[in-house]
Structure 1
Amino acid sequence: MAKLWSGRFQKETDRLVDDFHSSISFDSRLYKYDITGSMAHAGMLGRMGIITREEADTIINGLQEILTDIEAGRVEFSVAAEDIHMNVEQLLIERIGAVGKKLHTARSRNDQVALDVRMYLRDEIDAVRRLLAELIGTLLDLAEQNQDVVMPGYTHLQRAQPVTLAHHLLAYCQMFGRDMDRMRDCRRRVNVMPLGAGALAGTTFPLDREFVARELGFDAVTENSLDAVSDRDFAVEFTAAAALVMMHLSRFCEEIILWSSAEFGFIELDDAYSTGSSMMPQKKNPDVAELIRGKSGRVFGDLTALLTMLKGLPLAYNKDMQEDKEALFDAVDTVKKCLIIFKPMVATMRVKKENMARAARGGFTNATDLADYLVQRGIPFREAHEIVGRTVAYCLERDKSLDDLSLEEFRRFSDAIDEDVYEAISIARCVAARNVTGGPAPEAVQKAIRAARERLDKNSSC
């Protein structure tokens, strides 16, 4: 098959070059966007008199038939035709004849592929945002169900202060909410139409780029033809946002893995989202969570690949940029798959409330509250901190908790301590007393859940 660009060449490309050069094995997923963009381009060419309206209609009808056949599985793409753009154009010429050769008037594969990738990514961003919204909704449901479940909060993976499971889950709602915002913001920069930039310097034909942009749902057109075809920062930006989604999922998975261990015993994953051992019959492994944690590295790698591919390229288009697609496609596929499987895994886990509460009562998680109690009695915080530190050391020597100490023992360390200390350092009181915006107190958590639902509704609609 003669290449559509072969006029200048005296011999055919080597078969090895055809295989190495071809991108159809992965960019075929862009077929819908390539055809839709070509239909809008053909309509504009006819509207502007660059080709006749009849020719434009013939081209558009031919492209629609090709789209129908591809979606019905009746089209086999050719490696020799290199990419999705040339495959579609070759099919069009075979079906409608010479008029099909007019489709590529006033455009290049450079601005064509930039268009296709932007249209593709626009839809995928919308899909990722929907998945994030569904996950946040699930976490908010779990938070509502577990507002009274007290658990230890950690720093350095050491028990620090008591919180509730609802408060813990709301932290991830905040993270995933910011991920939604980043995706929305990225989409605004993706949704700029590059068609009309040509290979690098535009075209001499009188195009109506704004018409094509409106037809394809773009907010604006690119303002510099060199920039339009030579950068993929929008793909980098999406992949960076996807990497942050994966980082948040990975952190959550790490906690799920820890919590499901016998050492923590905070949760049990549903059998449908766990696996067993081929050798040890007692095992129930959190493989789904582990695999999501592992897949975060793929998306981080995709981001690095895109940045490295672009970092040394002079303007304008270079063949290196063909390498943008596999990394971008992998990032899209990976983050979507992980979000899809993560939501039901966390929704079906069984919370072991008593184990969480027992852990919250250990590890001196109420020590800060004892210090606050002393501050309220006029003792400077640094002195109170030192007093409580000595009290904890005393307890450790005797294998006691603060709650186990008698009033007489408390007063060995400070005369300011009275009978009301036991109420002040009760775990329930420690949580309820932190009734500040963003805190773990039940009232604050209820407000946070309501605010998060309102924010989710607003973010989901834009």
Structure 2
Amino acid sequence: MTTHNDVSPSGKSRSMQRRIRVLTGAAMTGAVLFCTGLAAAQTADSAERDEFFWLGQINKATTVINSEEGLLDSSLAPDIARALATVIENGNQPGADRPGTVISFEPLLIEEGGLDVTLIHAGRSSQDMHATYRAAILRDGLLEMAEQLNTTMETMVELAAQHVDTIVPNYTNGVAAQPNSYAHYLLGHAAGFDRDAQRIREAYARMDRSAMGTTVLNGTSWPLNRERMADYLGFDGVVDNAYDASQISSMDQPVETGAIVTSIALHTGNFVEDVMTQYAQSRPWILLEEGGDNTYVSSAMPQKRNPGILNSTRSDASLAITLAMGPVIQTHNITPGMSDPKDVDENAAMVDAGVQVLARLDRVLKALRINPERALEELNSDWTASQEVADILMRDHGLPFREGHHVASEIVSYARAEGITPLNFPYAEAQRIYAETVADSDYPQEFPLSEQEFRGALDPLAIVRNRATSGGPQPAEVERMITQARERLETDKQWIAEKRSHIDGSLDRLDQDFSELLGK
């Protein structure tokens, strides 16, 4: 038997060991838990694109471009390339040190190739180099988060497709409010996550810009080919303003990413808490498939099946928000360009927290077991359909809504006082209450609904089926929204693949040109 603290997420992660060391403060315990779990799923590919990797790529591109464009003596380029290749090869060995700053990377180059290797530093600074690899790493993180978001949304949409005709209570202010199709409810949550997907794409477009060639903040006298450098590193273009490149935009990027993580975590927490609202009932209409860490038995009370996966997901969402607030606080009240919000490990841990939340939510969705009969029983045990009486009185019989609302409210008050449910409410009592409510008005004095109409007005299935507005829960509209959601998910999936293909293709082209320089 497992407990609610067990972690078994899916998906890729970057170097988690270093991230654990940088996470401090109140979130440390939870951060270690999820980081440890993600480290177990780490792959060799996902660990490669760290600071060391990107410094190597930047140096490769500089060597190729500058030697071809006359900024570096072409006769020196092969020896510099060989020294660089050796440093990269050494850093790629298992357990090897992978320095992540210019000032720690460059001594290794000098050791291998002598001072001549520093000729490639023409017109460069740690400022633009670090700004570039930070953007590249966050860019990879956004794609990872987009992929997991797409996977989780697909699970949610397909679950909706299974429950088009499942009618359940929806809650407002923590109280059962109206009947709804469970599919419609899920698609509403999916719409929120779809906006998160939009935010990722929009942020990606702003982040997909290279700072290389801007040096510290005002460019350089060297005529560097910034566009070619950006192309080699898989960027869609360059940061236009040299001051913005490392002083402003590199501080914006983690803040904007944190806002996306926050939104994802909030949407996840809202969904989980809504499930928890009814899960606490003695006979909930949503259960969790038992096994794994979905549920766990209380150590003292054998009847309890604690919702471990719900608790873990909610906790992960809280941790993600905690980490996402870091860049905001660190960016507040500092001068432009300061390093406070730019730490790669902290920002990558924030992204990983967002991925983790989505992976957990995906498991929650797959573990849900909906009981349509119990949901309908829950609806028929209360008066969640009462607004329909007021709507029919106004729509079909001209009674102002507030007067009709008063009639329906009096029916509910009487029913609750007498312990009567909608299924067995006497039609004669509805007639009496109506007549007493409108007695002092000019409205028709006899209850205008036939008994059949009155019963139909209180039928949750009929209410949902007869909705007429676009975007409503009626089956035709739900099917339309499912189709559109699937189309958007497929478009997003293609977008992720295209962006990854562009980066990979650019880096492959750089490696090919660098290999030619080496004479391979």
Whether TM exceeds 0.5 here: the answer is yes
Q: Deviations over 1:308-338 (max 9, x none)?
A: 32232334x334355x434312211101122
Q: Report the counterpart of residue 442 of structure 2 in structure 1.
A: none
Q: SS at the partner of 2:416? A: helix
Segments of 5+ residues of structure 2 without an aligned counterpart are 1-17, 23-46, 435-445, 496-520
After the TM superposition, which residues 420-459 of structure 1 pair with which residues of structure 2 at under 5 Å, given as runs?
420=452, 421-459=454-492
Which of the numbers 46, 50, 53 marks the counterpart of 2:71? 50
Establish whether residue 397 from structure 1 lines up as the match of residue 430 from structure 2: no
Displacement of 1:299: 3.1
Q: Distance in 1 between matches of 2:57 and 2:165?
A: 53
My pick for the range that moved more, 181-190 or 154-163, is: 154-163
Structure 1 residue 307: deviation in Å?
2.1
Letter in 2 for 1:417: L
Shift of 1:398: 1.1
- Please list, as runs of the form range in 1=range in 2, the aligned pairs for 1:243-254 lying within 5 A after superposition: 243-254=262-273
Shift, 1:61, TM fit: 4.3
| 3-state DSSP of counterpart to 2:150 | helix
User: 3-state DSSP class of the match of 1:413?
Assistant: helix
**Which among 316, 326, 334 is matched to residue 295 of structure 1?**
316
Structure 2 residue 201 is the aligned partner of structure 1 residue 201:
no
Correspondence for 1:132: 149
- Counterpart for residue 517 of structure 2: none
Give the Cα separation in 1 of the matches to 2:163 and 2:67. Answer: 62
Query: Is residue 2:102 matched to residue 1:85?
Result: yes
SS of structure 2 residue aligned to 1:366: coil
TM-score, reference length from structure 1: 0.87
Indicate the residue corresponding to 2:181 in structure 1.
Answer: 164
| Whole-angstrom CA distance in 1 between matches of 2:241 and 2:482 | 45
After TM superposition, give the deviation of residue 247 of structure 1 in Å.
0.8
Number of the residue aligned with 1:41: 62
1:70 and 2:103 correspond: no
Structure 1 runs of 4+ off > 6 angstroms? 22-28
Q: Which of 375, 380, 387 in structure 2 is aligned with 1:361? A: 380
Given that 1:310 and 1:321 are in contact with CA atoms closer than 8 Å, whether structure 2 keeps it comes out as yes
User: Paired residue for 2:9?
Assistant: none
Partner of 2:53: 32
User: Distance between the aligned counterparts of 1:410 and 1:151, measured in 2?
Assistant: 25
Alpha-carbon displacement from aligned partner over 1:232-290 (angstroms, at most 9, x marks no partner): 10221111111101111111122233343344612222322333444444433223322
The offset of 1:422, in angstroms, is: 1.2
Give the counterpart letter for 2:257 in structure 1: F
Q: Which residue of 2 aligns with 1:339?
A: 358
Map Cα deviations across residues 344-385 of structure 1 (whole Å, 9 max, x no partner).
231132222222121122320110111122121221211111
> Is residue 2:301 matched to residue 1:284?
no
Shift of 1:185: 0.2
Residues 153, 193 of structure 2: 8 Å contact kept:
yes
Aligned mates of 1:23, 1:52 — CA distance in 2: 40
SS at match of 1:257: helix
- Residue 211 of structure 1: CA displacement? 1.0
| Alignment gaps of 5+ in structure 1 | 1-21
Per-residue deviation, 1:94: 2.2
More RCO (CA 8 Å, sep 6+): 2
Cα 1:341–1:24 change in 2 (3 A) is closer
Q: Aligned ranges for residues 227-246 of structure 1 at < 5 Å?
A: 227-231=244-248, 232-246=251-265
Over residues 183-232 of structure 1, what are the superposed CA-to-partner deviations in whole Å (9 max), with x where a residue is unaligned? 00000100111111112221121211111011112222122222111121
| Partner of residue 369 from structure 2, selected from 329, 350, 354 | 350
The reply on whether 1:373 has 2:405 as its aligned counterpart is no
**Cα offset, 1:179, TM superposition:** 0.4
Aligned to 1:417: 449
* SS of residue paired to 1:196: coil
Partner in structure 2 of residue 211 of structure 1: 228
Contact 2:330 2:341 in 1 (8 A): yes
Q: Distance in 1 between matches of 2:80 and 2:418?
A: 87
2:514 aligns with none
CA distance in 2, matches of 1:279, 1:402: 40
The corresponding residue for 2:510 is none
Shifted more, 53-62 versus 366-375: the winner is 53-62
Distance change in 2, residues 1:455/1:62 (3 Å): same
Q: Does structure 1 retain, via aligned residues, the 8 Å contact 2:317–2:357?
A: no
Aligned to 2:338: 318
Moved more, 54-63 or 250-259: 54-63
Query: How many Å apart are 1:128 and its aligned residue?
Result: 0.9
Percent of paired sites with the same residue: 26
- Cα distance in 2 between the residues matched to 1:185 and 1:334: 20
SS in 2 for 1:162: strand
Does structure 2 retain, via aligned residues, the 8 Å contact 1:143–1:169?
A: yes
Structure 1 range deviating more: 220-229 or 113-122 = 220-229
Secondary structure of 1:53's counterpart equals coil
| Deviation digits for residues 136-175 of structure 1 (CA, Å, limit 9, x no counterpart) | 1111111111112111111111111100211111111101
Amino acid at match of 1:88: F
Distance change in 2, residues 1:109/1:389 (3 Å): same
